[in-house]
Amino acid sequence: MLNDTFDFVTGLSTGQLIAYFWPFFLFDLTRYVLFDVLILTLYLPRRKRNKQRRAEARRLLFHEKPLVSVIAPGKNEGKHIPSLAESLTRQTYKNLEIVIVDDGSDDDTEIICRKLLKDGKIDQFIRNDVRGGKASATNTALYYSTGKYVIHLDADSELRFDSIETILLPFYQDSKIAAVGGDIRVANLNDTMATRTQAIEYFKGISTGRTVSSMLGILRIVAGAYGAFRRDVLDRLGGWDVGPGLDGDITMKIRKLGLKVVHEPHAVCYTNVPTSFRKLAKQRFRWDRSMVRFRARKHFDVLLPTSNFMLSNFIATAENLFYNLFLNFKWWFYLAQVIFFYGAMLHNIIIVNYLLYTLANLAEFMVAVVLLRKTLRKQDLLLFLYLPLMPLYTGLYLRIVRTYAYIMEFIHRSSYADQWNPWKVSKVVKKDRL
């Protein structure tokens, strides 16, 4: 059969190659491999040249030593807080204020955190007896924090020793920067096959993808799991709006103010990801719907020629809508095309596609390794063994979840019924179409 495939490939003309594999050559190869390589060949030397500027930024930071608030709002996260507080004491940047908000937990969170507060391990603990959802908890933390910069962190994540210092540096390099995204890596990568594939996906999507977006000035998300913000800007915006997807939403709102948002690939944060494909599907269902809710609806105005029009915002949203939303549906079109028109060559097309995407993944992985080299661990490098799984993971699994999420949100606005927010909140935002 492989001989057959080999013959099939060698017998293809360029025209046929494009006709049979146009999604790969026209979109995925160009956008995710060639483009990334091109941008990073520009980025890496520039970063090297900027060494001097970074050193200057570092000097300014440690000269000013501003108070930095680390906020970790959440429900039933108490068990993670002691190790979070402990890990923050090992940071190279020390002037921190840890603010924990308990959003109506029904476990021991309150007891654990009150003890930590008493022992001086955390600086502020606010318990809301009634759950108000992520946005209200985050806004409570913002309200009671006092730092010049606010770092939003998931309670179950862990930072590299120099992470806070690193994520703050961009603020001292460019005064237009209002938010910096941290580089999210998978902490529990060796747990299951689901966590391994996610780890590879994070390298590609977050580490490389966001670095490239950031360079182009079209970064559209600062992850909720680890992001730093200027307090004055957050105050101006009145904090976070109701999610799900509030991290992408606030990033867009900052961009609309004409301020810059960047990604810092060396500010490392290890976070725990869903361990089964079922749980992962639930998480992505939530994330993907917010893409429709926020990009295609709430912030659709950035695509319109209004007085607020900014090319970078236009591109950020358009690129996102095109590649994620539009091309997602293109895939089903391609599938239909292959089945109906090239049915006889179906198996060969599948095999070749599989090989092409595996190679693309390998290339992307290598790009990430070059980009992140200093901060990678041995176990991260060993992930290359699982690269052949990635075409199935991204091409099939994630695509099915995403398509389902988009359809549900377009037709049913199902994100408003997500239990992630309390019903009292969902009811109001749904009524007001927020």
Partner 1 sequence: MNRGLLISADENPLRLPLSNSAEESNWRGLDAGADVDYFLIDTPNEDQAKKIIDLVRHKLLPAVYLKPIVLVSVWGDLPKSLQDQSDFVISRQQMKRELPATLLDEIEALNRRINSLQEQKLRADTNLALRLLRYLYTRDREIEPIPSIHSRGGFTYPGLESLFGVNDLSMWQTIEFLTAQHLIQTRFITRTHQCASCGCAFLNFKETCPQCQSEELDSDDLVHHFRCGYTAELADFKQQEKLVCPKCDQSLKHIGVDYDKPSVMYHCRGCDHRFQEPEITTTCYDCHRTAPPEHQIHRNIDAFKLSMLGVNAALFGIDSLFASILERKLQLLPLDLFERFISVEKARIIRYKLSNSSLLLIDIKGLEEIYLKLGERTSEVYEELANLFYAMLRNSDLISSRNESLFLMLLTETSPDDAKIVQQRLRQGVSELLKASLGTTPEIISNITSVDDSLDLTEFMEKFLNENHAE
Instruction: List interacting residues with partner 1 (CB under 8 A).
Output: 104, 114, 124-130, 132-133, 135-140, 143-144, 238-242, 246, 424-425, 427-429, 432, 434
> CB-wise, 72 or 242, nearer to partner 1?
242
Q: What are phi and psi of 286, to 5 degrees?
A: -70, -45
For the CB of residue 148, give the shortest distance to partner 1 in the complex, in Å.
17
Q: Which two tokens stand for residue 401?
A: 């979840």
Q: Which is nearer to partner 1, 123 or 158 (CB)?
A: 123
Closest approach of Cβ 150 to partner 1, in Å?
A: 14
Q: Smallest distance from the beta carbon of 390 to partner 1, in angstroms?
A: 36
Between CA 317 and CA 299 the distance in angstroms is 8
* C-beta separation of 179 from 252 below 8 A: no
Question: In terms of CB distance, is 63 or 431 closer to partner 1?
Answer: 431
Q: Between 140 and 251, name the residue whose CB sits nearer to partner 1.
A: 140
Cβ 154 to partner 1, closest distance in Å? 18
Residue closer to partner 1 by CB (options 370, 428) is: 428
Q: What is the smallest separation between the CB atom of 118 and partner 1, expressed in angstroms?
A: 8
Shortest distance, position 123 Cβ to partner 1, whole Å: 10
Across 383-419, b (16+ Cβ under 10 Å) vs e yields beebbebbbebbbebbeebbebbbebbeeeebbbebe
Burial class, 139, CB count within 10 angstroms (exposed 0-12 / middle 13-18 / buried 19+) = buried
Q: Is the peptide bond before 244 cis (omega within 30 degrees of 0)?
A: yes
Residues 347-379 as b/e (b if ≥16 CB within 10 A, e otherwise) read ebbebbbeebbbebbebbbebbbebbeebbeee
**Smallest Cα–Cα separation from 376: which of 170, 210, 208?**
208
Q: Residue 180's beta-bridge partner residues?
A: 228, 262
Measured from the CB atom, the residue of 79 and 427 that comes closer to partner 1 is 427
